[in-house]
Amino acid sequence: MTAVLDLRALSVDLPLGGFLTRARLPILCDVSLSVGRGESVALVGESGSGKTTLARAVMGLTPISGGSVFFEGQRVDGDLARLRRNAAMMFQDATASLSPRLTVGYLVTEPFRIHGLPLPDPAATARDLLARVGLPPAIARRYPHELSGGQARRVGVARALALDPRLVVADEPTAGLDVSVQAEVLNLMHDLRAGMGLAYLVITHNLALVRHVADRVVVLYLGRVVEEGPTARIFAAPAHPYTASLIAAEPKPDPRRRRADLAIRGEVPSVLRRPAGCEFHTRCPLVRDLCRSTPPDLVPVGDGRQARCHFADQRQDKQGERHAVDHR
Amino acid sequence: MSALLSVENLSVSYRIPGGRLRALRDVTLSVRRGEVLGIVGESGCGKSTLAAAMIGLLPQGATVEGGAIRLEGEDMRHLSPDRQRGIRGRSVAMVFQDPMTAFNPVLTIGRQVADFTGAHGQRLPQAEIAAMLERVGIPDPARCLGRYPHELSGGMRQRVAIAAALLMRPDVLIADEPTTALDVTMEAQIIHLLRALRADFDGAIVIVTHHLGVIAELCDRVAVMYAGEVVEEAAVDDLFHDPRHPYSRALLACDPAVVIPGTGHLPTIGGRVPDLSVLPAGCAFAARCPLADALCRTSPPRVAGQGRSVLCHRAATQVAP
Ligand SMILES: Nc1ncnc2c1ncn2[C@@H]1O[C@H](COP(=O)(O)OP(=O)(O)O)[C@@H](O)[C@H]1O
Ligand SMILES: Nc1ncnc2c1ncn2[C@@H]1O[C@H](COP(=O)(O)OP(=O)(O)O)[C@@H](O)[C@H]1O
Ligand code: SF4
Ligand code: SF4
Ligand SMILES: [Mg+2]
Ligand SMILES: [Mg+2]
C-alpha cells in the first residue's frame, strides 16, 4: 500500500543571512520517513532540532533543497494544490493562528474559500465541523479571543478537518494545555483516527503524548534522524543514547521514582557549530574516541528499527541477550 | 519549625467590568525554612495570584479583601511601602514563566542583573554576578554577561533569572511555572538545579506549576488549588499515592504521563473551572465532581482531615478507591 506521506532524503538549507554571504546553513539533512494510511507517526526532539522546519517543508511553506516529498505515491513538485487540499496543518499556537477578526463559523469554513470549493450552506457546514470536535453550534458566533485554550485548539482541529484531509500535520498539539484538556485533545485525535482513517504526523517534545498517539517514532537531532521505530519498542529499549536521555529526562509523576542524576546536560549545539564525528558526542554519556572523529550512519538495529550510533548494535544485544544468543 | 512565609485566610479579588472576580478565597498556607512547597491546579485556579500576593506584587485592579500575609510572623501589609519594597527581592524573590518578558531587550545581561541588584539593595560587581551564573550552570559566565536576552536560549534565560533572584539572598524563592516554556531536557536541568540549590540555600522554595511531574520530582509538600481555594494540602507522597480530594484524584487520573499507554481513551475531568465572578452556592467543584450530592450543591465544604487538609464534605467518609 502506498504511504500517505513519504519523505525521501529531504534536506532543507536556510540562507545564513548578512549581505556578503550566499552561504546556506543545513537545517535538515537527508531525512527519510513515511506515514502510512491511518498511521500516526511522532517526530520528537528538543527545540532547535528542526521539527517545525520539517512540518513547514512538508506543507510547502519552506523550500526544500534536496530530496523529495511524495504524497499518496505522487511526487509533490511545485504543485502544492493537491497536497494542501488533502493534508492539513494544526498549529502549535491555536489562538494566534486564528485570525482575530473572523468568527469561529467563518474560520472553520475558510479552507473551502481558500481552495475555491463550493460551500452551499456555510452555517450547516460550520455546525457539522464543530460537532465533529465536540463543540456546541453557538461557538460559531464567537471570536477567537473569546475561546478557552482547549476550545481554540478544537477550532484549530475543526478547521484542519474541513476538507476531509487524509493527513494531519500537528505541531505540538497539546503544548500549554492543562492535563485535563490535553487528555480531551488526545481522545479527540484518537476518535478521528478511528472514525475517518486519518493519518497523523505529530510533532512534539512531549513523550507522554507520543506514547498515547503514535504507532511509530522518529527522533531528530540537529536535523538528522538518529532513531526510528515502533513506539512500544523504542520506549522499552531505546537504541540511541539520545532517545534514552530524552526518555529519562521526562519528570516522573511519582515522588517515589525521582531520578537522582541528570540524564542529559547542556543544550542542542547551534547549527552554526555542528560537532565533528557523531553530532551527539558533545552530550553523549557513552561517547568513545571513535565518536569524535567518525560520523555514524543510520543503520537497521532489528525489530524494524534504525539508529545512528556506532554502538547501537551492542546495546541492543545486551538488552535482548537471549534473543541474540538464539540467533548466533 | 515555624513558618517562614504564611498566608492566613487570604481573599483577593479583581475588579472587572460589572463586578468582581474572586481569585482567592480564604486561602491559608505556609512554607517553612528548608522546604519546597508546590502549588498545583488547572489554569485559572488562582495560582499566580497567590504567588503574586506572597511577594506583595498583586497587579493593578486586585484588592486584598481579607486575611494576612506574614513573613516570619510579621504582617507584610502593615509595613511601610519602603519596608515592603525592601522585602520584595531581598527577603522574597520571584522567577516567572518566561523570563524574556522580565528582561529589557536592549541591555546586556550583566548590566541588567547589576541594575536589578542595585534596585534591591546594593549594586553587585560583575565578578560576583558571574560567580552566581556559574553556580546556576551557565557555561562561560563572563561571555554571558555581555550578551543580550534574545541571544540566550529559554533555558539559559531561566537560569539567569534564577541567578538574579538568588543574588538577593532571599529567604523565600517563588517560581511561577519556571519550566512551562521549556522542553523536557531543559526542564529536567532546571529541576536538578533547584534541587541542588535547595541543599545549600537555607530558605524556602515555592513552585507554582500545572505540571504534576514537576511537583513529584521537586516538592516536599503540595497545595492543590481549585477555583481560588486550596482544596487539598498534603505531603507529596500522600498526594500522589493517596489523594483525598475528588479534584486531586481527577487531576492525577487524567495526566497523560501517568496513564498506561495503549488504553485508547484517557480519563477526563469534563466541564471546566467555574466563572470566578459568579461562583456556585455550594462546593465550587460540584458541577464536575462524581461524588457530588445535594449537600455539595447548596453548602460550601469546610476544611477537614487530620495531618492533612481536604476541603470536601465527603473527606472523612470517603473510602480510597
Ligand atoms: N528562518 C530561519 N532562518 C534561520 N534559521 C532558522 C530559521 N528557522 C529555523 N531556523 C533554525 O533552524 C533550526 C531548527 O529550527 P526549528 O525547525 O524551529 O526546530 P524545532 O521546531 O525542532 O524547535 C534552529 O537551529 C533554528 O535556529
Ligand atoms: N489582572 C487581572 N484582572 C482580572 N482578572 C484576572 C487578572 N489576573 C488574573 N485574573 C483572573 O483571576 C483568576 C485566577 O488567575 P491566575 O491567578 O492567573 O490563575 P492561574 O495562575 O492558576 O492560572 C482567573 O480567572 C483569571 O482570569
Ligand atoms: S556514536 Fe558515540 S557519541 Fe554518538 S550516540 Fe553513539 S555512543 Fe554516543
Ligand atoms: S464537597 Fe461534594 S462536590 Fe465538593 S468535592 Fe467534595 S464530594 Fe465533590
Ligand atoms: Mg518547533
Ligand atoms: Mg498562572
Q: Interface pTM (ipTM) of the complex? A: 0.87
- CA–CA separation, A207 and A247 (whole Å): 7
Tell which wins on pLDDT, A69 or B72: A69
- CA–CA separation, B41 and B50 (whole Å): 12
The third-level CATH classification (topology) of the domain covering A3-214 is Rossmann fold (3.40.50)
| pLDDT tens by residue, A233-287 | 999 999 999 999 999 999 989 999 988 787 788 888 988 889 999 999 999 999 9
Mean of per-residue pLDDT scores for chain B: 89
Interacting residues of A172 by C-beta distance below 8 A, sequence separation 6+: A92, A203, A204, A205, A206
**What local confidence, expressed as pLDDT, does residue A146 receive?**
83
**What local confidence, expressed as pLDDT, does residue B321 receive?**
45
Beta strands across the sheet bearing B309-311: B92-95, B172-176, B204-209, B36-40, B221-226, B229-235, B309-311, B303-304
**What local confidence, expressed as pLDDT, does residue A323 receive?**
39
Q: Which of residues 235-294 of A touch B (CB under 8 A)?
A: 235, 245-246, 249-259, 262-267
| pLDDT tens by residue, B209-248 | 989 999 999 999 999 999 999 999 999 999 999 999 999 9
Strand B204-209, strand B221-226: pairing: unpaired
Whose alpha carbon is nearest atom 5 of ligand 1? A14
How many whole angstroms from its chain centre is CA B9?
Answer: 17
The third-level CATH classification (topology) of the domain covering B3-91+170-311 is Rossmann fold (3.40.50)
**What local confidence, expressed as pLDDT, does residue B127 receive?**
92
**What local confidence, expressed as pLDDT, does residue B261 receive?**
60
| pLDDT tens by residue, B3-14 | 899 999 999 999
Q: Is the pLDDT of residue A326 over 70?
A: no
- CA–CA separation, A190 and A161 (whole Å): 14
| pLDDT tens by residue, A15-54 | 877 666 677 889 999 999 999 999 999 999 998 899 999 9
pLDDT band for A212, please (50, 70, 90 cuts).
Answer: confident
Helix (H) or strand (E) holding A167: strand A167-171
| pLDDT tens by residue, A56-104 | 999 888 999 999 999 999 999 777 888 888 999 887 666 677 788 999 9
CB atoms within 10 A of CB B63: 13
Instruction: Extract the C-alpha cell encoding A324.
Output: 541474540
The pLDDT > 90 percentage for chain B reads 55
**A7, A69 contact by CB (below 8 A):** yes
**B170, B5 contact by CB (below 8 A):** no
- CA–CA separation, A276 and A293 (whole Å): 6
* Beta-bridge partner residues of B175: B95, B207
* Whole-number Cα distances in Å, B120 to B162, B199, B267: 15, 25, 47
Find the ligand nearest to B227 CA: 2
Q: Is the pLDDT of residue A328 over 60?
A: no
**A178, B43 contact by CB (below 8 A):** yes
How distant is the Cα of B135 from the closest Cα of chain A, in angstroms? Answer: 14
Cα(A196) to centroid(ligand 2), Å: 39
- Tell me if the pTM is above 0.95: no
Where exactly are the structural domains of chain B? 3-91+170-311
**What local confidence, expressed as pLDDT, does residue A301 receive?**
93
Residue to probe by mutation, ligand 3, list A220, A246, A280, most atoms within 8 Å of CB: A280
Nearest CA in chain B to A151: B272
Tell which wins on pLDDT, B46 or A173: B46
Tell me whether residues A180 and B264 touch, CB distance under 8 A. no
- A21 and chain B in contact, CB less than 8 A: no
- CA–CA separation, A123 and A108 (whole Å): 10
**What local confidence, expressed as pLDDT, does residue A153 receive?**
82
- A148 and chain B in contact, CB less than 8 A: yes
Which amino acid belongs to residue B96? F
pLDDT band for B263, please (50, 70, 90 cuts).
Answer: low
